[in-house]
Structure 1
Amino acid sequence: MKLQEIATFFMDTVNSSHAYATGGTSVSEFWSNPKRLAEALTTETEESCTTYNMLKVSRHLFRWTKEIAYADYYERALINGVLSIQRGRDPGVMIYMLPQGPGRSKAKSYHGWGTQYESFWCCYGTGIESFSKLGDSIYFEERGERPALYVVQFIPSTFSWRTAGLTVAQQLMPLSSSDQYLQVSFSVSAKTTNGQFATLNVRIPSWTSLNGAKATLNGKHLELASPGTFLTISKQWGSGDQLSLQLPIHLRTEAIKDDRPEYASIQAVLFGPFLLAGLTTGDWDAKTGAADAAASDWITPVPVESNSQLVTLAQESGGEAFVLSALNGSLTMLQRPKDGGGTEAAVHATFRLVPQGGAGAGAAAMLEPLDMPGMVVTDRLTVAAEKSSGAAFNVVPGLAGAPGSVSLELASRPGCFLVGGGEKVQVGCAGGAQQKRGDGAWFRRSASFARGEPLRRYHPMSFAARGVRRSFLLEPLFTLRDEFYTVYFNLVA
């Protein structure tokens, strides 16, 4: 067999966790059918050690073949596989297996998160080493009479190209869900006054398109190469040459690698190379609206300004702190989580106060649970998609008079408010049973909530997706810590 045939065979065979669209890593440590991956969607799916090994394999294959497919693979495995296996910025807290099934959590998987000092399974060694190699495989040098450099990953960095006597500095603009382009720039400067003749090859990734793509060198437009090829520039580089790329970045879906017709609707959602996970405890039915719908038809960016509308509403009761939460489609009070924004409790205890015209005291607003964009809390204390008058609340100063507190009056029932006071949420009305029993102070206190900073915020790359029974908040998999999520959806027209 030729080298290319061997490489293709090897990658296809080991590519048995395309089940989460990184471009492939193996399920656990076993060989499995690369065309029957739907059954791999379980709590124990992608093993950190295998991602580590496949990064090495794809690196070698790229060096031998210069095939961009291997650089594309490396990018996806690095972003979605490596960056997802550490718990936020917690040092030494790694994961063995990255779960891929519907409604899974990294914290609640079979192995779960490790510990800083007591855990030492094999993936602790390779996992930590992977994070020491984040700067690896960005640049590849080809030596010869005319030196050439291949730039294959878009990662802010500086490369001292000694053979050519040049310094290449790469900068990347931060991305958000509202961006339509990935923008990367390169500053190339010579270490001598005369410069050096050399060739720069920049990867044009397969996930982009030519529609709207631009490349400029020192302000002059270049003819851009097709996706899946290199933009090649050979010249006498001087001091301060500037190369800029504008690459369209799109939402798209990818079907799971399974040749059985009954699994054709099981698809992952990606934004460029970023795998998007939907926050959910199990529901994975997405509503596309049409069989041939584009991803952008049923998935929309979360506006940047939405973060300023997020809030957590808290109360003290019996010496304990509680937070208003939306759990299983209903309102409840949960104990305030001690850990911060990466917990499932933080997701449920964060709401978006969506203004309904006007501002200030008494302004009407809707309560939108963070993980159900577009859905609102109703006067029945449930979460629904209908935005009727029964879903509006008048946000007024707290009845108990505490500075910074608010009370939520039902717009459909003036004088009636959300009442907590423990683990239960109910509707209480001024002059109702509590006050008739002489418990007016209790009523005012239980109808008042401290309006605090949200326990959770939207990631800049956040999207809202329509579902059959609910909506989904989509965020990059690598940003999640303990939240429940799904990375494959069942697309329903």
Structure 2
Amino acid sequence: MAGGGGLTRRRVIGNAVVVAGSNAAGFDALAAMVPDRVQPRSMPFGPDRVTLLPSPWLDAMEANRRYLLSLDADRLLSGFRTQAGLAPRAPVYGGWESDTIAGHTLGHYLSALGYVRVQARCDRAGERIAYIVAELAACQRARGNGFAGAFTRRTPQGKIEPGIYVFDEIRRGDIRAKRFSLNGAWAPLYNWHKLLAGLLDVDRLCATPGARDVALGLAGYIDSVFATLDDARTQQVLSCEYGGLNESMAELYARTGDMRWRALARRISDRATMAPLCAGRDELDGLHANTMIAKTVGAARVYETTGDRQAAVAARTLWSSVTDRRSYACGGTGDFEYFTTAGPHGPGDMGAHINARTCETCATYNMLKLTRHIHGWSPDAAQFDYYERAHLNHIMAQHDPQTGMFTYMLPMGTGAARDFSMPADDFWCCVGTGMESHARHGESIWWQRGRDEITLNLFIPSELQWHERGARIVLDTRYPLDGQVTLSIREVTGTDPFTLALRVPRWAGQPRLLLNGRPVAAVVERDGYVRIRRVWRAGDTLGMALVFTLRKEPAPGGGVLAPSAFFYGPLLLAADLGPARGEWPWRLPQPALIADDACALPVRMNDGNGIAFRVAALSAGQGAWPGELVLRPFAQMQARLAAPYLPCIPVAAWTPALRQQLLAATRDADDAQVVDAVDPARPHAMRGAMMCNRLGRAGWITATDMRVHLHVGAQPVALRVLYYDDDVNRLFTVRVNGHVIATENLDGRNPGVFAWHRYDIPPDIVARRRQVEVSFVGAGARGVGQVFGVQTIHA
């Protein structure tokens, strides 16, 4: 695992040909509805069988529940009613819900409400679900053709039109597809996958009347569009992000047995990016991470329902690549949402990609979904070593339990503040997946393998109801504050034996087991579990003690300044740099540890019930530089500036020259001269009087004609623009106040690299002005390249 050690149990990607099915508990629930379904080896118990007990996970779920119920369903439905020709009952929300991707949140919202209804036994959530489904059905009746959507499209002239126009054009053979835009709409197939997934979730979890009918109606409309396309045009359409739309069609096939959905599920796969994965090849460098992970989750479901082994190869190949070679210490992946360059047998220089725009939360959400599929096929503790890392150190870290808000990215850069959403004015994709993630904390704790083995994969305080055995089992633990885990059999019927299997994390070494208070042998089997099989009786207890130690995991890349991450048990630690203030880049010295054995420096502090380590300031040749450091759990530092990676430098290498190099590592001469700047990923946090039309996906701006307004000073200024150098065939002009100052041709000269381009601005253009308008105008067929940042700087 890049930045966090490799997953070494190679059984993870073995040759098993079995697969997990639905989330329903018990194998009887998987009676084959289709002849080619592949039988699972392990299945999670559904959220109706699991009750969360007091813990940070329950706190997160409750904060999320409060936020979900604070939202106005009519505002989320506003665009759906408008597109159906019905009067909206409330104005649309802001942020992405006011853009051409409008409506994508509602699907996530339905899924989250479904889990809250079942997991938290929340009747209000159930009432909200029923209302939304009824409204969507009304929208479909008004349309009369199954269409349901809130998304719009923007014409080249900037006019906003109904989203259905996109598919009217596609039926006629007029297809204008870009990576995230289809005929002027922002990823409409991705949008529909979210809605279908939400409808299918509430159908499965809550048996909501009408939910499956609405899903079938929408799927029928989508199928009617694809029926007009030959193979070449289908591939053209699928070159635009489509989420896991194949997953929804495979799920409909599993529930109905209708071969129509089977055929469509297999058809929705773009060969350009999926064919290498299906052949077992990792050609992910520079691709958009969440796009690839989502469609691979869909491939996993296609395999489960059709037996398509190439789809299984694709899922295993991507999962192994991300977990072995493309993950940061928190378990997240992606730099500016894109996969970094990785070698054929190991990670690339992850150390060069530690910044403030790492780890899109959607990508981790989908990696956890993919891990559940992989685990069902060939269960191994290593899969949940990854799952726990990402769930604990990314998903929990991207949520503020005080406000219920979410981050888009989780920054790995030193001193980068977490940017949390606002309740009614953002609705990024990661707000949607955040809603789901913090409603689903109980779904992967308890698993069943065969008919008589219970597997404990996550150490989250909870209670399991195993109805088939009349058993009630309680998990009591303070984990991850310590390694003591206790299972108590509160109820059980019958005298047949069954097995309790407990995951032993790879970092934990040999655990200690106590059965009813007495030590028993703890044999960690090849798949990473300890198992106790016996006739269990009410009152029995099984305790496991895991040993927590401090360890460091270097980020790949080499060199004396290559940083390392520190872990205490499962927890990623980070240097606490003080209250969140300002924005990245961090301008103070990069903190570092100077020692031949860096793990010997931190000393455990008395920090109440929390975890903290102190590293004394540099003295006697070793310590923390430039001063004392305190390491705390990264997941709990929502309001703090953090350094999750620290250079660890041997004492002999600590020279004045190296010290100056370390000082320079956090300085950028051009950044120091910034007059004004816009970061498209944070349109609500822009400084001064800047204005920016909120075009494009958060993290970048792409448009045929994009404009931003930036301040200029009294001194001469120049312009800097951050591009993604994997962009190819992008020809466009860069203009200031309407004057062309440069013609840019992005040709993919530096694959996988983000690069600043500097342009001189003639003084007469900015003379006696306080602001300038910077615009980008397409001059070629593919239009403007992706713009990740725009700055005016002192010339």
TM-score for the superposition, normalised by structure 2: 0.38
- The match for 2:604 among 266, 282, 301 is 301
Aligned to 2:516: 218
Once residues 42 and 205 of structure 1 are traced to their aligned partners in structure 2, the CA distance between those partners, rounded to angstroms, is: 29
CA contact (8 A) 1:196 1:238 kept: no
Q: How does 1:158-307 map to 2 (within 5 A)?
A: 158-173=463-478, 176=481, 182-192=483-493, 194-210=494-510, 213-226=511-524, 229-256=528-555, 258=556, 260-262=557-559, 265-280=562-577, 282-290=588-596, 293=597, 295=599, 297-304=600-607
Aligned to 2:386: 73
What SS class does the counterpart of residue 114 from structure 1 fall into? Answer: coil
Q: 1:69-121: CA deviations, max 9, x gaps?
A: 11111101111111111224202x21101111112111xxxxx2210111111
Q: How does 1:414-453 map to 2 (within 5 A)?
A: none
Shift of 1:12: 3.9
Q: How does 1:465-476 map to 2 (within 5 A)?
A: 465=615, 466-476=623-633
CA contact (8 A) 1:102 1:283 kept: no
Residue 197 of structure 1 aligns with an amino acid whose one-letter code is P
CA contact (8 A) 1:17 1:26 kept: no
Once residues 263 and 9 of structure 1 are traced to their aligned partners in structure 2, the CA distance between those partners, rounded to angstroms, is: 32
Shift of 1:15: 4.1
Once residues 87 and 122 of structure 1 are traced to their aligned partners in structure 2, the CA distance between those partners, rounded to angstroms, is: 17
Shift of 1:65: 1.2
> Per the alignment, do residues 221 and 73 of structure 1 end up closer, same or farther by CA in structure 2, a change over 3 Å counting?
same
Q: How does 1:59-208 map to 2 (within 5 A)?
A: 59-91=372-404, 93-106=405-418, 112-144=419-451, 147-173=452-478, 176=481, 182-192=483-493, 194-208=494-508
> Per the alignment, do residues 475 and 17 of structure 1 end up closer, same or farther by CA in structure 2, a change over 3 Å counting?
farther
Once residues 169 and 2 of structure 1 are traced to their aligned partners in structure 2, the CA distance between those partners, rounded to angstroms, is: 33
Once residues 333 and 640 of structure 2 are traced to their aligned partners in structure 1, the CA distance between those partners, rounded to angstroms, is: 23
Shift of 1:298: 0.4
Shift of 1:30: 2.3
Shift of 1:13: 2.8
- The match for 2:611 among 440, 461, 468 is 461
Once residues 154 and 175 of structure 1 are traced to their aligned partners in structure 2, the CA distance between those partners, rounded to angstroms, is: 8
Aligned to 2:210: none
CA contact (8 A) 2:326 2:340 kept: no
CA contact (8 A) 2:337 2:358 kept: no
CA contact (8 A) 2:497 2:534 kept: yes
What SS class does the counterpart of residue 124 from structure 1 fall into? Answer: helix
What SS class does the counterpart of residue 129 from structure 1 fall into? Answer: helix
Q: 1:237-277: CA deviations, max 9, x gaps?
A: 11111001111011110011x2x332674100111111111
Aligned to 2:3: none
Once residues 16 and 49 of structure 1 are traced to their aligned partners in structure 2, the CA distance between those partners, rounded to angstroms, is: 19
Shift of 1:167: 1.3
Question: Does 2:642 align with 1:485?
Answer: yes
Once residues 73 and 170 of structure 1 are traced to their aligned partners in structure 2, the CA distance between those partners, rounded to angstroms, is: 21
What SS class does the counterpart of residue 237 from structure 1 fall into? Answer: coil
What SS class does the counterpart of residue 426 from structure 2 fall into? Answer: coil
Residue 634 of structure 2 aligns with an amino acid whose one-letter code is L
Give structure 1 stretches of 5+ with no counterpart.
107-111, 308-458
Aligned to 1:440: none
Shift of 1:16: 8.6
Once residues 32 and 38 of structure 1 are traced to their aligned partners in structure 2, the CA distance between those partners, rounded to angstroms, is: 11
Once residues 237 and 209 of structure 1 are traced to their aligned partners in structure 2, the CA distance between those partners, rounded to angstroms, is: 27
Once residues 19 and 102 of structure 1 are traced to their aligned partners in structure 2, the CA distance between those partners, rounded to angstroms, is: 17
What SS class does the counterpart of residue 388 from structure 2 fall into? Answer: helix
Aligned to 1:11: 319
Once residues 2 and 205 of structure 1 are traced to their aligned partners in structure 2, the CA distance between those partners, rounded to angstroms, is: 19
Aligned to 2:59: none
Larger helix proportion of the pair = 2
CA contact (8 A) 2:560 2:649 kept: no
CA contact (8 A) 1:279 1:486 kept: yes
Once residues 23 and 43 of structure 1 are traced to their aligned partners in structure 2, the CA distance between those partners, rounded to angstroms, is: 16
Once residues 28 and 215 of structure 1 are traced to their aligned partners in structure 2, the CA distance between those partners, rounded to angstroms, is: 44
Q: 1:183-231: CA deviations, max 9, x gaps?
A: 0100014433x44311111111112122xx3101112211113497111
CA contact (8 A) 2:368 2:387 kept: yes
Once residues 324 and 522 of structure 2 are traced to their aligned partners in structure 1, the CA distance between those partners, rounded to angstroms, is: 34
Once residues 149 and 90 of structure 1 are traced to their aligned partners in structure 2, the CA distance between those partners, rounded to angstroms, is: 36
Number of residue pairs matched?
320
Question: Does 2:354 align with 1:53?
Answer: no
CA contact (8 A) 2:331 2:386 kept: yes
CA contact (8 A) 1:19 1:38 kept: no
Once residues 271 and 216 of structure 1 are traced to their aligned partners in structure 2, the CA distance between those partners, rounded to angstroms, is: 23
Q: 1:306-346: CA deviations, max 9, x gaps?
A: x6xxxxxxxxxxxxxxxxxxxxxxxxxxxxxxxxxxxxxxx
Q: How does 1:327-476 map to 2 (within 5 A)?
A: 460-465=610-615, 466-476=623-633
Once residues 78 and 468 of structure 1 are traced to their aligned partners in structure 2, the CA distance between those partners, rounded to angstroms, is: 31
What SS class does the counterpart of residue 442 from structure 2 fall into? Answer: coil
CA contact (8 A) 1:25 1:54 kept: no
Residue 53 of structure 1 aligns with an amino acid whose one-letter code is N
- The match for 1:21 among 314, 324, 329 is 329
Aligned to 1:327: none
CA contact (8 A) 1:300 1:464 kept: yes
Once residues 482 and 18 of structure 1 are traced to their aligned partners in structure 2, the CA distance between those partners, rounded to angstroms, is: 27
CA contact (8 A) 2:332 2:394 kept: no
Once residues 17 and 98 of structure 1 are traced to their aligned partners in structure 2, the CA distance between those partners, rounded to angstroms, is: 18
Aligned to 1:322: none
Q: 1:37-94: CA deviations, max 9, x gaps?
A: 1222111001110110011011111111111111111101111111111224202x21
Once residues 276 and 284 of structure 1 are traced to their aligned partners in structure 2, the CA distance between those partners, rounded to angstroms, is: 16
Once residues 271 and 186 of structure 1 are traced to their aligned partners in structure 2, the CA distance between those partners, rounded to angstroms, is: 23
What SS class does the counterpart of residue 104 from structure 1 fall into? Answer: coil
CA contact (8 A) 1:277 1:487 kept: yes
Residue 156 of structure 1 aligns with an amino acid whose one-letter code is P
Q: 1:362-408: CA deviations, max 9, x gaps?
A: xxxxxxxxxxxxxxxxxxxxxxxxxxxxxxxxxxxxxxxxxxxxxxx
What SS class does the counterpart of residue 119 from structure 1 fall into? Answer: coil
- The match for 2:354 among 34, 38, 41 is 41
Once residues 165 and 139 of structure 1 are traced to their aligned partners in structure 2, the CA distance between those partners, rounded to angstroms, is: 16
What SS class does the counterpart of residue 262 from structure 1 fall into? Answer: coil
Residue 469 of structure 1 aligns with an amino acid whose one-letter code is P
Q: 1:113-144: CA deviations, max 9, x gaps?
A: 21011111111100111000111110111233
Give structure 2 stretches of 5+ with no counterpart.
1-12, 17-279, 281-312, 578-585, 616-622, 651-795
What SS class does the counterpart of residue 140 from structure 1 fall into? Answer: strand
Shift of 1:14: 2.8
Once residues 301 and 162 of structure 1 are traced to their aligned partners in structure 2, the CA distance between those partners, rounded to angstroms, is: 44
Q: 1:429-479: CA deviations, max 9, x gaps?
A: xxxxxxxxxxxxxxxxxxxxxxxxxxxxxx711111241221211111111
What SS class does the counterpart of residue 469 from structure 2 fall into? Answer: coil
